[in-house]
A and B are shown apart, each in its own frame.
Chain A
Amino acid sequence: MPADYTTTPVIEARSLTKYFGHVVALDRCDFEVYAGEILAIIGDNGAGKSTLIKALCGALQPDSGQIFLEGKPVHFRSPMDARNAGIETVYQNLAVSPALNITENLFLGREVLRPGFLGRVLRMIDRKTMRTQSEEFMKSLKFRIQDMNVSVESLSGGQRQGVAVARSAAFARKVIIMDEPTAALGVKESRMVLDLIREIRDRGLPVILISHNMPHVFELADRVHIQRLGRRLAIIDPKQYSMSDAVALMTGAKTLANAEQV
């Protein structure tokens, strides 16, 4: 289902500003992401990409500006706040617990407890339910793993990242933010994660993708947000622009001709 850009954005930010001392990391930056799209954010180092993302996922608080979740203003004081609001973040490579198995990783921090006394009083976890749910979920994402009981360290790098992505997808209700999800992966490995991201988008969950990898960005993204000098320079349609155009725009080598001016 293609994204409908006439609806209310799932996340919208207006005029976010953030100073670090005298340095302006975000300078009245706007942002929006719609249901059913993959929005890539590209930008040179220091353009404010990660500051923008941290503001959206609650890791830092903007000095001014406003964030709206489905049209309603929100204030995230911590990543936990954002997560409780349905925003999940996938980090580069810190996200999994290698000695724990796939099911345990998927449910880490959100374990399902046994019904009744065993769960309420003894806080016993419900292994069986968690295993069935994670098997079904992985199958629905077309993510092939034979045995949910193997420890994550025995998986390949791509599969590991896949587990991290799947975990976020399982619990995200509004949006998933992915920070360089393929940065540490080889070609074949990346492919698996890219397919997974597309699968998540097709289920209707918007994905915000931060990446330096232009081929990945141009392959996946429905729209590309170009960040430059703390502001949104433009939003481009990757089908109408070349990668070199995008790079020229984000480095300032080229100015906007007919990109969607913002």
Chain B
Amino acid sequence: MTTHTLEKSESSEAIPTRSSRLSLLLTPPFGPLLFLFIICVIFTVLPLLRGQEQRFLTVQNFALIFQQTAVVGVLAIGQTLIILTAGIDLSNGLVMALTSVITAGLAVHGFGPRGEALYVDPIVAMLIGLGVASLAGFINGLLVTRLKLPPFIVTLGTLNIAFALTRMYTTTTINGLPQPLLALGSAITVFGARVPLYALVMLVLFFVVWFILRETRIGRHIYAVGDNREAAALVGIPVNRVLLLVYTSAGFLYGIAALLLLARQENGDPQAGQTSNLESITAVVLGGTSLFGGRGHVMGTLIGALVVSVIRNGLTQQGANPIIQTFITGILVIAAVAVDQLSQRSR
């Protein structure tokens, strides 16, 4: 906002240039969706060219892709909310791990040192799990708003704390989960493919959060807080309350992800979620949400998460070394952040 404002204004009054049309194509929601479409076409055509049986473009395979996306997808919803406020959450995978072992432990062993002490109803265990995850998010939010610490550092701290607490609670996998914890793993048949309920839970959550962000007052305030925090405060938006709500809701979503994880793995695994933080950030970034905050769409995150799953799935079917998928994901993340960075600079 200094001397170059005038020149900039004159250029912005001109008709859309070629670069602005290009950036329209690259920016969400079109860019990520187009990209997802292209890789789907590639993996559909490849078996045809190589004379293989079509295994990619089948209902069963897409059901599998959704199933593989569910847990990281739900984590990435929470991550999207936080990144929209110009924050970041490194702790989500380990908060999920902590929640899942606590839920599993309570449901299987009950309260007490070796369990036998006090029986806990599995439903109560699930509610306690959701409470623990929400509390973890709430603590992140308090540290970010009250102590004004950078989210990166706060969640790096809570990442370690959650990891330690998980290991203090159990170092071994908790097996023999009771039925209510596995209920989300039961499947319904859609177009002849069996889709587990937890994959549908993910889709429902994406739609709910999409609706909230787009159509409700709090949704618009989340964007405003991430876009220009000072302006938001000046018009009277309770910035700290919005942030606290975002971090707590994200925690709640990590709790749901933990329940999906239990239903999917059918055990409580203290090793779970160690790379989920980066996977969820990857999904958000590939979905076109800006790390600078205030711009992006939660549906982009769904697409970003699907892109990672589709690449993994397609390469596996092509018999490629699975590590290539990680390599490609790395390149995509850098490319997506570069697009964000460049469009930020052009503003």
Contacts and interface: CB of A to CB of B under 8 A. Distances in A.
Interface residues on B, range: 20 to 34
Contacts of B220: 100, 104, 108, 111, 125
A184 B231 contact: no
Given A93-B1, A94-B230, 5 more contacts: A109-B236, A153-B347, A155-B12, A188-B6, A189-B9
A79 interface: yes
Contacts, number: 97
A98 B227 contact: yes
A98 B228 contact: yes
Nearest to A153: B347
A80 interface: yes
B5 A108 contact: no
Contact of B232 (A89, A109, A123, A157): A109
Interface in A70-105: 79-80, 83, 89, 91, 93-100, 104
B254 to A, nearest CB: 24
Query: Secondary structure at chain A's binding surface: helix, strand, loop or mixed?
Result: loop
A97 B237 CA distance: 12
A185 B234 contact: no
Interface string B213-231: 0011110110110011011
Interface string B319-334: 0000000000000000
Residue among B5, B228, B231 with the highest chain A CB neighbour number at 10 A: B231
A184 B232 contact: no
Contact of B235 (A109, A113, A185, A189): A109
Residue among A94, A109, A188 with the highest chain B CB neighbour number at 10 A: A109
Contacts of B13: 156
A233 to B, nearest CB: 30
B2 interface: yes
B213 to A, nearest CB: 11
Contacts of A123: 216-218
Contacts of A184: 1-2, 5
Nearest to A167: B235
B67 to A, nearest CB: 31
A136 B8 CA distance: 28
Interface string B3-18: 0011011101100000
26 contacts: A80-B236, A89-B234, A91-B234, A94-B231, A96-B228, A97-B227, A97-B231, A97-B232, A98-B347, A99-B223, A104-B220, A108-B224, A108-B231, A109-B221, A109-B224, A109-B232, A111-B220, A122-B215, A123-B216, A125-B220, A154-B12, A156-B12, A157-B5, A159-B9, A185-B5, A185-B6
